[in-house]
Structures are given as structure tokens and as C-alpha cells.
Amino acid sequence: MLPLWLEPLERLVEAGGAILVVIALVATLLFSLALERVLFFRLGYRRARRALIRRWAARGDHLSWSSLALREAWTRELIARLRRPLPWLRLLVALCPLLGLLGTVTGMIAVFDSLALTETGQARAMADGVSRATLPTLAGMAVAVVGLLFTSRLEQIIRREDQRLHDRLARAVEEPHA
């Protein structure tokens, strides 16, 4: 007998198969990365941005080619830190519908296998099997859509922050110690 807290997991496996558990694990990883990015943006990135603006404003030379190249390098480095998990997020988002399709295919194979073994064309058993087989596709698509929304929002925030960082660095020179 399973502990009480594992019963929902058992029902999940019964309802959609093992692939549904894999989709749940991918979704957990995806949303953990998303939460980490939100926390980094709120805590780490803003602190690093302020430090970069102070470091730039403290420099004596703001107009030479080398100082502008240095400013660009610092900016790219900070924005790259913000962008770091984007490839992983995109990979996990793309993986979800494929896992859902895999779950559907394996579920349909199981349905046709059981129908071939029983040699009866019971419509109810087939309908139940088809509904169990399509559940992973639904789950995979739902996780992918939410992940895609988050990823596109994060990309929008990164583009906005890149522009804001350049603007703030330019203003820091005009208004020293801003």
C-alpha cells in the first residue's frame, strides 16, 4: 500500500501512463527554471545593474572608443547572465509536445494490443483506451503553452532591460552618481 501523499501520483500513472509522469517532471524542471529566473531578476540582476551603473559613472573616461567598448562588454556580460537559461527553457518547451505525442502513440499501441488480444470490438474499452492515450498529449501541450508564454515574456523583459541598461548608463554620465 502506498503512502497517502503518493496516491495522486499513482492515479496519474493509471490515467495517462508513465509518459505523463515524465511530462510532470519536465514541467517541474521548466517551472523551477522559470522561478529561478524571476528570483534572479528581482534580486541578483537589479543589484548587478546598480553596481554596473556605479562602476561606469565612477570612470573618468566615457567618450573614448576603448571606454565605449568596455561599456558594451560590461552590458553584454550582464544581459548574458539574464539570458543564460533561455536555451534550456526553449528545449524543455519543445520537448513537452513531443513527450505528449510519445505518450499518445504508446497508449494507442497498448489499446490496439489489448483489443487484438481480447478479439472483441468493445467500443467502450476502445473509447476508454483512447481517452487514456490522449491525456499525455493534452498535458504536454498545456505545459508547452504555459512555458512558451513564460519564455516569450522573459525574452521581452530581456530586450527591455537591455535598452534600459544602455539608457541608464548614458544618463549616469550626464548626471554623475545617479
Residue 2 domain flag: no
If you average pLDDT over residues 155-169, what whole number do you get? 93
Helices (H), 40-122: 46-58, 65-83, 86-118
What cell does 178 get? 545617479
User: Residue 38's CB: how many other CB atoms inside 10 A?
Assistant: 13
pLDDT digits (tens, 9 = 90+) for 119-133: 666 766 677 777 778
Residue 163 domain flag: yes
Percent of residues, the chain, with pLDDT higher than 90:
56
Residue 108 domain flag: yes
Do 157 and 165 meet the contact criterion of CB atoms below 8 Å apart?
Answer: no
If you average pLDDT over residues 37-41, what whole number do you get? 92
Total structural domains in the chain? Answer: 1
Residue 53 domain flag: yes
What's the pLDDT band for 8 if we cut at 50, 70, 90? confident
* Domain that includes residue 160, residue range: 17-174
Residue 98 domain flag: yes
Instruction: Identify the CA nearest to 143 among candidates 105, 107, 102, 95.
Output: 95
Residue 49 domain flag: yes
pLDDT digits (tens, 9 = 90+) for 44-85: 999 999 999 999 988 888 888 998 999 999 999 999 999 999
Please state the pTM of the whole predicted model: 0.80
Q: Give the model's pLDDT for residue 178.
A: 44
DSSP assignment letter at 6:
G
User: b/e per residue, 76-103, with b = 16+ CB within 10 A?
Assistant: eebbeebeebeeebeebbebbbebbebb
Residue 10 domain flag: no
What's the pLDDT band for 112 if we cut at 50, 70, 90? confident
Residue 1 domain flag: no
Distance in angstroms (rounded) separating the CA atoms of residues 142 and 151: 14
